[in-house]
Amino acid sequence: MSVSDGSVTRAGITRAGGLTWRQSWLLVALLAIAVLAWMALAIWPAWLNHILLSKKAFVSAILNGLTLAGLYFIVASGFTLVFGLMRNVNLAHGSLYLLGAYIGYEVATRTGYWLIGVAAGFLVLAVVGVAMQVLVFRRLEGDDLRQTLVTLGISIVAADLMLAVWGGTTYQISPPLWLEGAVKTPFLLAVRSNGAAVYLPYPFFRLVVLAIAIVIGLGLWLMLNRTRIGMMIRSGVDDSAMLSASGVNVHAVFAVVFAVGAGLAGFAGVIGGSVLSVAPGEDIRYLLASLVVVIVGGMGSITGAAIGALLIGLAEQISLIYFPTYGIVLTFVIMVATLAVRPQGIMGKVR
Amino acid sequence: MSIVAATDAQVAGNGPARIGIPHIVLVAALVLYPLVASDFFLTQIGGYSLIWGLLGLSLMLLAGYGGMVSLAQITVAGIAAYAVAILGHNNTSVLGFGWPWWITVIVAVGLASIASALIGAISVRTEGIYTIMITLAIATAFFYFTNQNYALFNGHSGFAGIAAPAFWGVNWRDPVPFYYLCLFVAAVCYAAVLYGAQSTFGLTLRAIRDNPRRMRALGYDVTAHKIFAWLLSGVVAGLSGVLLVWFNGRVSPGTVGVGPAINVLVVAVVGGLRHPIGPFLGAVVFVLLQVFAIDLVGAERFNTLIGLVFLVIVFVSPDGILGLWERAKPHLAQKSLRSEI
């Protein structure tokens, strides 16, 4: 780094505009970080408030966007794993999310322990995932279009049966007391006339959701890159026939991935049902989110899912504040722009 | 990809033999249908099946001949339906420019086909299963957009009070004229698809479906052919959208939701994607199930029923009802042979 910094200053003196791409990108990045740091820490002048409504609205939108991105990431990471390994677009993924949310609600309200609800959401859906893999996908192996159609059929039936059981009402899973309340964030909003600084308060639970998403992301990354099963999954993504030929029980690997993917969807359902709410139609919403996140981020890539989730989550929350009736258009534009530049997604590989 | 695999029999000969006797019988039956059917069976089942059959046909054209399975057909139809509501008359007192019906229809179908070509241009950049994902994302995004946007789409309530026009001294809203209108449009589109499949373009499209790489190497512009197929499919879907909005009298985000988007695929797959008649068969089954589900499982659980039918069809016969028939034929023939011995 120090060498390149030195060359920047020398280059600046001896030959103007002689920066390499890398150096100019570094400068732009530093500048952007400086601007963002100033925006986060300083009290905004009137003109900036005029453009962006208010610091409170803007920073809240960013934080909400990050929380939502965390939720989208948990849902979409399962989707992208299953897709990457099995070439199987599980269009019932949204239904798994919603089922997880309902199960979490039932278990949490009956036992009174939120954590048991979260665990139940994960475990039950992991079992459902394995059942789907064994009963449905194994029978239609190698026929990806039919597999996709079957998941579509399952999602129709599942949505209707869930409507029959839980009705059209909106549920809210109540998070435990220790997760409630707001915390002060280091974002300075104003300084009162008596000198007291006003900081932006933000719900603690949402920050926890963001932390959970980061932990899950790191966990998945470690599992994929540092464990034996992760190695099998990665090689399965690249060439499952070869993996099978080298003596690995590919079906067992598929089952594990499906269990993790479906379990994460159910887990996200319980979390999402606690932060937001549970209602019919949410399955479609999260299916759309997963689809767009995975299309933008690249199929089969966890890093891509994280990038895609960040883009979509932030776009959704920022547009909610600045141009609410055209919010979905921004999401759509991001998707189309990605497809135009990189049809395989930001982190996707060309197959 | 076995669902969209090829079985394309060449039509040969002239005169009745060229058109085929089954077709003549079918047309005669459909033309005479109003003589025996009540108004309910004429419109709610006859007309409605033909409209859904058209929607399915627009998908069959893409999926069967082009190998591109789209879930955005209802979006294309919905764009035509919204255009009819916005440019023509509606009684929601929002927009409704009151253009003459024929200009409205031409513009609506034109907009739909352009929209379809754009969707095609977006999705042909990727292949196979990705098309489903992208078109589903487009369909869902369009649904949410119509739901949120009040300036153009009048939000959640949409538009009501749109009626089929009256011209040539006929009120096309009435059951019998409306049935014949649907039948005419459906027959023209069906014949056009059947004819187009044998044309140079149709053959090229099918060759691209089977081996895009080889066609590219032979010097064909694969992308342009695919996008043109989307454009044609948009014309069919747009026409069905116009008929659909005249049939319902209203259009709202519910019309273009994810449920209907999936139903188009259900209709086409249940019927069979190998021949243009498939979607119409699927539509008849779909509409009959929808109407009589109330006696079978109660009106509330219709989606479970249709979802299960769809699952069974996908599992048992990838080629839909047409495939069942194809499979049953040799068995029947054998049985008759055996009974002779």
Q: Is the pLDDT of residue B341 over 60?
A: no
Position B12 scores a pLDDT of 43
| Cross-chain residue pair A145–B128, CB shorter than 8 Å | yes
Q: Does A244 touch chain B (CB under 8 A)?
A: no
Nearest CB to B262 within list A150, A152, A331: A152
Q: How confident is the model at residue B235 (pLDDT cuts 50, 70, 90)?
A: very high
Q: Is the pLDDT of residue A13 over 50?
A: no
Average pLDDT over residues B212-235: 89
| Cross-chain residue pair B133–A89, CB shorter than 8 Å | yes
Number of inter-chain CB pairs under 8 A, A vs B: 124
| Cross-chain residue pair B151–A325, CB shorter than 8 Å | yes
Position B17 scores a pLDDT of 53
What CATH number does the domain containing B305 carry?
A: 1.10.3470
Position B274 scores a pLDDT of 82
Q: How confident is the model at residue B180 (pLDDT cuts 50, 70, 90)?
A: confident
Residue of A288, A331, A333, A335 to mutate, interface with B, max B Cβ within 10 Å: A288
Chain B CA closest to residue A344? B126
Higher pLDDT, B102 or A3: B102
Instruction: Give residue B82's identity as a one-letter amino acid code.
Output: Y
Average pLDDT over residues B73-94: 85
* Residue A156 token pair: 């129709």
A71-75, A334-338, B25-29, B255-259, range with the lowest pLDDT: B25-29
Q: Does A234 touch chain B (CB under 8 A)?
A: no
Distance from the A299 Cα atom to the nearest Cα atom in chain B, whole angstroms: 10
A37-51, B73-87, B221-235, range with the lowest pLDDT: A37-51
How many domains does one find in chain B?
1
Nearest CB to B307 within list A145, A156, A164: A156
Instruction: Give residue A115's identity as a one-letter amino acid code.
Output: L
Q: Is the pLDDT of residue B6 over 70?
A: no
| Cross-chain residue pair B311–A324, CB shorter than 8 Å | no
Position A7 scores a pLDDT of 45
A269-273, A303-307, B146-150, B260-264, range with the lowest pLDDT: B146-150
* Residue B30 token pair: 């459909």
Nearest CB to B122 within list A288, A294, A339: A339
Q: Does B40 touch chain A (CB under 8 A)?
A: no
Average pLDDT over residues A76-96: 83
Task: Tell which B residues from 272 to 311 touch A, by Cβ distance under 8 Å.
Answer: 300-304, 306-308, 310-311
Distance from the A197 Cα atom to the nearest Cα atom in chain B, whole angstroms: 38
- CB contacts of B304 in chain A (<8 Å) are 156-157, 160-161, 164
A84-88, A279-283, B4-8, B236-240, range with the lowest pLDDT: B4-8
Q: Does A91 touch chain B (CB under 8 A)?
A: yes
Range of the structural domain that residue B266 is part of: 2-340
Q: Does B27 touch chain A (CB under 8 A)?
A: no
| Cross-chain residue pair A295–B307, CB shorter than 8 Å | no
What string of H, E and C letters represents the secondary structure of A87-142? CCCCCCHHHHHHHHHHHHHHHHHHHCCHHHHHHHHHHHHHHHHHHHHHHHHCCCCC
| Cross-chain residue pair A291–B137, CB shorter than 8 Å | yes
Task: Give the CA distances from residue A290 to residues A84, A93, B102, B129, B258, in Å, rounded to whole numbers and listed in that order.
Answer: 14, 8, 42, 15, 15
Residue of B144, B273, B305, B319 to mutate, interface with A, max A Cβ within 10 Å: B144
Q: Does B137 touch chain A (CB under 8 A)?
A: yes
Residue A79 contacts by C-beta under 8 Å, 6 or more apart in sequence? A90, A93, A261, A265, A290, A291, A293, A294, A305
Position B2 scores a pLDDT of 44
Nearest CB to B314 within list A150, A164, A344: A150
Q: How confident is the model at residue A2 (pLDDT cuts 50, 70, 90)?
A: very low
Distance from the A199 Cα atom to the nearest Cα atom in chain B, whole angstroms: 33
Higher pLDDT, A147 or A95: A95
Q: Is the pLDDT of residue B217 over 80?
A: yes
Q: How confident is the model at residue B28 (pLDDT cuts 50, 70, 90)?
A: confident
In the three-class reduction of DSSP (H, G, I as helix; E, B as strand; rest coil), residue A151 is classed as helix
Distance from the B244 Cα atom to the nearest Cα atom in chain A, whole angstroms: 23
- Which DSSP letter does residue A187 get? E
Q: Does B144 touch chain A (CB under 8 A)?
A: yes
Q: Does A350 touch chain B (CB under 8 A)?
A: no
Q: Is the pLDDT of residue A61 over 80?
A: yes
Average pLDDT over residues A172-192: 77
- CB contacts of B67 in chain A (<8 Å) are none
Q: Is the pLDDT of residue B156 over 90?
A: no
Helices (H), B12-165: 15-19, 21-36, 39-40, 48-60, 66, 73-87, 101-123, 129-148
- CB contacts of A332 in chain B (<8 Å) are 137-138, 141, 145
Q: Does B28 touch chain A (CB under 8 A)?
A: no
Q: Does A5 touch chain B (CB under 8 A)?
A: no
Q: Where are the domains of chain A?
A: 1-41, 54-341
In the three-class reduction of DSSP (H, G, I as helix; E, B as strand; rest coil), residue B325 is classed as helix
Distance from the A328 Cα atom to the nearest Cα atom in chain B, whole angstroms: 6
Q: Does A148 touch chain B (CB under 8 A)?
A: yes
Position B339 scores a pLDDT of 57
Tokens 């049953």: give the residue: B328
**Phi and psi at residue A229, to the nearest 5°:** -65, -35
Chain B CA closest to residue A337? B122
Q: Does B129 touch chain A (CB under 8 A)?
A: yes
Position A350 scores a pLDDT of 64
Average pLDDT over residues B206-233: 88
Separation CA A256–CA A313 (nearest Å) = 28
Average pLDDT over residues A29-41: 82
Q: What is the ipTM of this complex?
A: 0.78
Residue A286 contacts by C-beta under 8 Å, 6 or more apart in sequence? A72, A75, A93, A94, A97, A98, A265, A268, A272
Q: Does A150 touch chain B (CB under 8 A)?
A: yes
Higher pLDDT, A56 or B123: B123
Q: Does B38 touch chain A (CB under 8 A)?
A: no
Q: Is the pLDDT of residue A85 over 80?
A: no
The percentage of residues in chain B with a pLDDT greater than 90, rounded to a whole number, is: 13
Q: Does A295 touch chain B (CB under 8 A)?
A: yes
| Cross-chain residue pair A154–B4, CB shorter than 8 Å | no
| Cross-chain residue pair B304–A160, CB shorter than 8 Å | yes
Separation CA B119–CA B123 (nearest Å) = 6
Q: Is the pLDDT of residue B9 over 70?
A: no
Average pLDDT over residues A297-321: 87
| Cross-chain residue pair B1–A144, CB shorter than 8 Å | yes
The percentage of residues in chain B with a pLDDT greater than 70, rounded to a whole number, is: 89
Task: Give the CA distances from residue A349 to residues A236, A273, A297, in Å, rounded to whole numbers and listed in that order.
Answer: 14, 34, 11
Which of A66-70, A277-281, A316-320 has the highest average model confidence (pLDDT)? A66-70
Q: Which residues share a beta bridge with A278?
A: A171
Q: Does A164 touch chain B (CB under 8 A)?
A: yes
